[in-house]
Amino acid sequence: MEKIVVDGGRKLEGEAHVQGSKNASLPIIGATILTGGENVLHMCPILKDTITACEILNLLGCKTVWQGKTLIIDSGGVCRNEISKCLMNKMRSSIIFLGAILARCGEATVYFPGGCDIGSRPIDLHIASLKKMGVEISESCGELRCRVSGSRIHGAEIFLSFPSVGATENILLAAATARGETVINNAAIEPEIKDLCDYLNKCGAKIFGGGTQVIRIKGVEKLTPCEYNIMPDRIVAATLLCGVAVTGGEVLLNSVRPSHLSSVLPVLADMGCVVRACENTIFLKAKNFLISSSPIRTMPYPGFPTDLQPIMMALACVSRGTTIFVETIFENRFRHVPELRRLGASIKIEGRVAVVEGVKMLRGASVYATDLRGGASLLVAALAAAGKTEIFKVCYIDRGYEKIEQQFSKLGASVFRV
Ligand code: EPZ
């Protein structure tokens, strides 16, 4: 079993380039199905999840070619409309291919998605919204058979009970070439949604209000392929900042959008770091010790991102004082806590609340990644821990981070994969 080995306690310093966003690239890869031609996606991160997305596209009849960080997708040959259970199980975001396949083919067979076990991950909002747009969906033993009643998906006025990122993306993919207009009320406003809307509009869609709570989509007859630059990954950017901060180091991140981290940078400043943000760079310099921040409550964007809760918790483990975390998005997102405790962290959990008492020093140990961001949390903690840490199940981390060990070793960490 592959593992990452960290010899912690080194101060990290240097400059880092931030990879393209996993959570922007996945829906955009799905959206290429709508264009029926050759798309060129630059800054596409090479990850387990984007490779799985390409497997799905190839299965549907597309051609996908990687040229470095550029992914070329020709969706002219789409001839199938089923995603296998095995592929659906590999990642949660496989469900957002449903809207695009239905819009292109008129019918689709998929399965309840897999992905990180951070909660039940229901798809009721996806299904209810697609039904309102004229899709008949029958479910049996986890298989979803979907068919567009009539010749085309039709527009609808949709009210999301929760600003679900995935449901917003699925509706956008179904609505872009639907007959008539669709309005999404209480849409997710994460930056990845805006990136998807910008890609679709570059293909000829008529989407207004992307990145706001009300998105209006006027269906068009056809979308044409385009060349597009995917946005930088805000979660990877923050992970690099936290990895440096936990070692008392300093870093200059380039090719990043500070505005995407408007709820995160103040927390790092609160903890004693000097943080300077310019147009597409962030400079961080940490003190030799961190102080605990005020309570961190995860919220939909622009609130504190749930994906950073595990990673920020690693910082809190070695900060002076007590930090309270409230996880409001996913009901099972503290699975990294027992592993952090193996490193000597002092954390108490009560339901969706975690109370972290900072300790003077963490100590290296053998730990297991439990999910994508939980695994990243262990790596950040290991960078601060005295001695050697072995992190197993690195396959989880590879779903969202490009060679994370190389990203940190370039900043001076003693970290390698064996
Ligand atoms: C996306 O997941 C991201 N994944 C997640 O990142 C991220 O944590 C999440 O948005 C929140 O920001 C991708 O973009 C691939 P949601 P998604 O639908 O779309 C409930 C990572 O580490 N819900 O906004 O699944 C759901 O249970 C991953 O990169 C329903 O109840 O998130 C959860 O409580 C982890 N019914 C809440 O909404 C539905 O039909 C947020 O889910 C859909 C969602």
CATH code at 36? 3.65.10.10
Instruction: Give the tens place of pLDDT for each residue, 150-180.
Output: 889 999 999 999 999 999 999 999 999 999 9
| Per annotation, catalytic residue among 116, 197, 226, 273 | 116
**Encoding tokens for residue 24?**
């922007």
Mutate to test the pocket of ligand 1, among 329, 370, 404 (most ligand atoms within 8 A of CB): 329
| Average of per-residue pLDDT across 217-241 | 98
- Does position 115 have pLDDT exceeding 60, yes or no? no
**324 and 243 assigned to the same domain:** yes
Specify the 3-state DSSP secondary structure of 46: coil
Confidence of residue 92 (pLDDT cuts 50, 70, 90): confident
- pLDDT for position 281: 97
Identify any residues that bridge with 59 across adjacent strands, giving them in sequence order. Answer: none
Distance from the Cα of residue 153 to its chain's centroid: 28
Is 116 designated active site? yes
Phi, psi of 30 (to 5 degrees): -65, -40
- Does position 331 have pLDDT exceeding 80, yes or no? yes
Percent of the chain past pLDDT 70, that is, above it, reads 99
**133 and 161 assigned to the same domain:** yes
Rounded Cα–Cα distance for residues 151 and 221 (Å): 12
Determine, yes or no, domain membership for 227: no
- Does position 88 have pLDDT exceeding 60, yes or no? yes
**191 and 262 assigned to the same domain:** no
Instruction: Give the tens place of pLDDT for each residue, 4-39.
Output: 999 999 999 999 999 999 999 999 999 999 999 999
**75 and 107 assigned to the same domain:** yes
- Does position 116 have pLDDT exceeding 70, yes or no? no
Residues 6 or more apart in contact with residue 306 via CB below 8 angstroms: 298, 327, 328, 329, 330, 333
**202 and 238 assigned to the same domain:** no
| Average of per-residue pLDDT across 383-399 | 97
Q: Which amino acid is at 379?
A: L
Structurally, the chain folds into a number of domains equal to: 2
Determine, yes or no, domain membership for 272: yes
- pLDDT for position 344: 98
Residue 23 alpha carbon, nearest atom of ligand 1: 14
Rounded Cα–Cα distance for residues 209 and 170 (Å): 16
335 Cα to the center of ligand 1, angstroms: 17
Which of residues 199, 220, 241 is at a domain's end? 220
**324 and 390 assigned to the same domain:** yes
**151 and 287 assigned to the same domain:** no
Residues within a 6 A CB radius of ligand 1:
22-23, 26, 92-93, 116, 119, 121-126, 162, 164-167, 188, 190, 306-307, 329-330, 372-373, 400
Q: How many CB atoms lie within 10 A of CB 230?
A: 25
**205 and 348 assigned to the same domain:** no
**281 and 376 assigned to the same domain:** yes
- pLDDT for position 15: 98
118 Cα to the center of ligand 1, angstroms: 10
Determine, yes or no, domain membership for 225: no
Q: Judging by DSSP bridges, how do beta strands 296-297 and 322-326 pair with one another? A: parallel
Residue 330 alpha carbon, nearest atom of ligand 1: 34
Instruction: Give the tens place of pLDDT for each residue, 279-296.
Output: 999 999 999 899 999 999
**49 and 193 assigned to the same domain:** yes
- pLDDT for position 118: 85
DSSP string, 298-345: B-STTSB-GGGHHHHHHHHHTEESEEEEE--S-TT--TTHHHHHHTT-
Answer whether 200's CB lies under 8 Å from 223's CB.
yes
Name the average pLDDT for the chain: 96
Q: What is the domain range of residue 28? A: 22-220
pTM of the model: 0.97
Which of residues 167, 187, 220 is at a domain's end? 220
**412 and 273 assigned to the same domain:** yes
What H or E segment, with its residue span, contains residue 389?
strand 388-392
Residue 127 alpha carbon, nearest atom of ligand 1: 40
Instruction: List the residue whose alpha carbon is closest to atom 6 of ligand 1.
Output: 307
